[in-house]
Amino acid sequence: MFKWVTLEDTAFQYVYQLVRIESQINESVETVRIAVISDIHSNYDALQAVLSATGAYDALVCLGDLVGYGAQPNEVVSEVRSLKPQAVVMGNHDYAVSTGDTSGFVSHAVQAVEWTRKEISSENLSYIAGLRSKTTFTADGVKIALVHGSPRDPLNEYVYPSTPEFILRSLVDQSESQVLLLGHTHVPFSHKFGSRLIGNPGSIGQPRDGDPRASYAIIESSNGFDFRVHRIDYDVEAAASKIAIRGLPRLLADRLYLGF
């Protein structure tokens, strides 16, 4: 049996197919979601709060300083290890705890390093000692560089929101990546240069921007790479009490309440 098909019917079917194909393409586009954490500093209470708030992610990266200052180094390092992050880089406090070298550290930081070296398990010490100072990985076709300080001084350089733009651009250039993620300052920020990005998620365990809430960032790739800083309340009293009870410098407890 024959069925007559008019020109209008054919045109309608063609438009219908195009709409259907376009819909299928849109449905197949997936957003890559990356959780970015840094400067946990043995603050397990803050880390737990952040991990509860991040939601589902495709990759987790950590920009160093798992230890130092806080009272729960083993809990923090063990937790990070269990999460199997995409990448973790070494921070200056990780280096100090793993080597005993506290050159350039102020007295309360030295005391915290020495205390941590006595408390940390051999397994967790081996883990932080084996961290690389910088690394890269690729997500959604974009190369992302990770470092604690900066590409030219991975452990110690401080890069702030107020750092001149030409320096920020040069650091992204030196990273040879489209996205450069760094920590160390405990101050969150991000800056875009066209399709390139530099970002700092701030500190989970010891914020220093006047906001005591734990800080982390989420990167999403749905429309370019979007870097968003998030803040989350945690039990500061619990974290501060553990610092005081375990004989660490009182300053390290007090500053958690103020975020400095």
pLDDT of residue 30: 61
The answer to whether residue 116 sits within a structural domain is yes
Residue 257 near residue 212, CB atoms below 8 Å: yes
pLDDT of residue 13: 43
Residue 227 near residue 200, CB atoms below 8 Å: no
Distance, first Cα to last Cα, the chain: 82
Confidence label for 21 from pLDDT (cuts 50, 70 and 90): very low
Report phi then psi at 190, rounded to 5.
Answer: -150, 155
What's the rounded Cα separation, in Å, for the pair 117 and 112?
9
Question: What pLDDT, in 10s, does the model give residues 135-179?
Answer: 999 998 999 999 999 999 999 999 999 999 999 999 999 999 999
What's the rounded Cα separation, in Å, for the pair 175 and 144?
9
What's the rounded Cα separation, in Å, for the pair 66 and 43?
9
Output the six-digit token pair for 38: 């840094």
Q: Whose structure tokens read 């190369």?
A: 143
What's the rounded Cα separation, in Å, for the pair 65 and 84?
17
What's the rounded Cα separation, in Å, for the pair 225 and 134?
21
The answer to whether residue 13 sits within a structural domain is no
171: CB partners within 8 A, 6+ apart: 150, 151, 152, 159, 180, 198
Which segments within 159-206 are labelled E, that is strand?
179-182, 189-193, 196-200
Which segments within 65-133 are labelled E, that is strand?
87-88
Confidence label for 9 from pLDDT (cuts 50, 70 and 90): very low
DSSP category for residue 70: S
Query: Does residue 10 sit in helix, strand or coil?
Result: helix
Q: What angle do CA 213, 219, 225 make, to 5 degrees?
A: 140
The answer to whether residue 6 sits within a structural domain is no
The answer to whether residue 10 sits within a structural domain is no
Residue 116 near residue 68, CB atoms below 8 Å: yes
Which pTM was predicted? 0.88
The answer to whether residue 251 sits within a structural domain is yes
User: Is the per-residue pLDDT at 28 higher than 70?
Assistant: no
The answer to whether residue 118 sits within a structural domain is yes
Residue 93 near residue 110, CB atoms below 8 Å: no
194: CB partners within 8 A, 6+ apart: none
Question: What pLDDT, in 10s, does the model give residues 174-200?
Answer: 999 999 999 999 999 999 999 999 999
The answer to whether residue 26 sits within a structural domain is no
Residue 168 near residue 198, CB atoms below 8 Å: yes
Mean pLDDT across 90-116: 98
Domain containing residue 60: CATH number: 3.60.21.10
Total domains in the fold of the chain: 1
User: Which domain does 73 fall in, by range?
Assistant: 31-258
Q: Whose structure tokens read 């130092």?
A: 68
Residue 38 near residue 227, CB atoms below 8 Å: no
